[in-house]
Structure 1
Amino acid sequence: MIFRVATRRDLPAVLALLADEDQVLDPATTAVGEEHERAFAAIESDARNEMLVLTDTGADGTEGSDGTVLGCLQLTYIPGLGQGGQERALVEAVRVRADRRGEGLGAELMRLAAERARGRGCALIQLTSNKRRTAAHRFYERLGFARSHEGFKLPLERP
């Protein structure tokens, strides 16, 4: 497997993972809208944001010819005055292909993300997870994440 920063070529596969976590969608049939293009360009151009992917490798250990995206996550680095002024990493949009779960890919994806955040000097990694995703909660707890806070969200109306 190869862990790397996503490129524009990965966008349909990432959107397919985010669209339905319970089944495998064909990236070739995934619509990439203008809003997705804008969001990806913003992530790509922001030094505090990274969309990361885990891809399959070919027999020679290099990225396979189709570059199958097996998992993804977004890391956002947040400066702050807490934690001794150290950054923290926010993990979002964690997904692993439904047909590849149970192989340790999610744990490897999170391990590599933590390594990346640690290398940047982050003091901690934080994430939120939808209350309905109980399997994901068990997964995060197995990795050592603690339910230390209650999260709140407020949808904002567009002007």
Structure 2
Amino acid sequence: MIFREATRQDLPAVLALLADEDPVADPAGVVVGAEHERAFAAIEADPRNEMLVLAEGAAGAGGAGEVGEVVLGCLQLTYIPGLGQNGQERALVEAVRVRADRRGAGLGAELMRLAAERARARGCGLVQLTSNKRRTAAHRFYERLGFARSHEGFKLHLEP
């Protein structure tokens, strides 16, 4: 397994994962729009944001997004400075996905472990996330990893 920052070449695979709830979405069929390109470029340019992937490399594969490499999971880490926690940053985890046909094999736990290691190495004192209330299996998964339901989340959708 390869854990690394996503590259532009990974964008179709990441978007396929984000659309992948039950059937595996084929990255070749994903339309990458201008809004996706802008969002990825903003993440890539921001030192407080990382889009990370867990990939499986084919024999001889040597680099990020190389032919033969299959993206199996992804997540976004955003580092948030704050005055709480003695001024330590916190890491916000978003967009956690593992390919539907590879779930249940420990890849999600490995992805989250590696993300927490990355946040710890950066000096973060806390990793936090939100999860849609309908995703009860995801809630059990996060609790097994040691995440506690400590806060109630709220969202306000803004009209353009």
Q: TM-score, normalised by structure 2?
A: 0.95
Could you tell me whether the CA contact under 8 Å between 2:2 and 2:54 is conserved in 1? yes
Alignment partner, residue 124 of structure 1: 126
Structure 1 distance, partners of 2:54, 2:20, is 18
Written as runs of structure 1 = structure 2, the 5 A alignment for 1:6-25 is 6-25=6-25
Alignment partner, residue 44 of structure 2: 44
Count of aligned residue pairs for this structure pair: 158
Q: Is residue 153 of structure 1 aligned with residue 155 of structure 2?
A: yes
For structure 2, the residue ranges without an aligned partner over 5 or more in a row are none
Alignment partner, residue 34 of structure 2: 34
Structure 1 distance, partners of 2:4, 2:41, is 17
Alignment partner, residue 95 of structure 2: 93
For structure 1, the residue ranges without an aligned partner over 5 or more in a row are none
Distance 1:34 1:60, change over 3 A: closer
Task: Summarize deviations over 1:11-34 as a string: whole Å, max 9, x none.
Answer: 000000101321101101001000
Alignment partner, residue 76 of structure 2: 74
Structure 1 distance, partners of 2:44, 2:144, is 31
3-state SS of 2:120 partner? helix
> Which sits farther off after the overlay, 51-60 or 84-93?
51-60
Structure 2 distance, partners of 1:31, 1:49, is 23
Task: Summarize deviations over 1:46-66 as a string: whole Å, max 9, x none.
Answer: 000000000002346856732
Task: Summarize deviations over 1:114-157 as a string: whole Å, max 9, x none.
Answer: 00000000000000000000000000000000000000000001
Q: TM-score, normalised by structure 1?
A: 0.96
Give the % identical residues. Answer: 81
Task: Summarize deviations over 1:72-129 as a string: whole Å, max 9, x none.
Answer: 0000000000000000000000000000001100000000000000000000000000
Structure 2 distance, partners of 1:54, 1:62, is 14
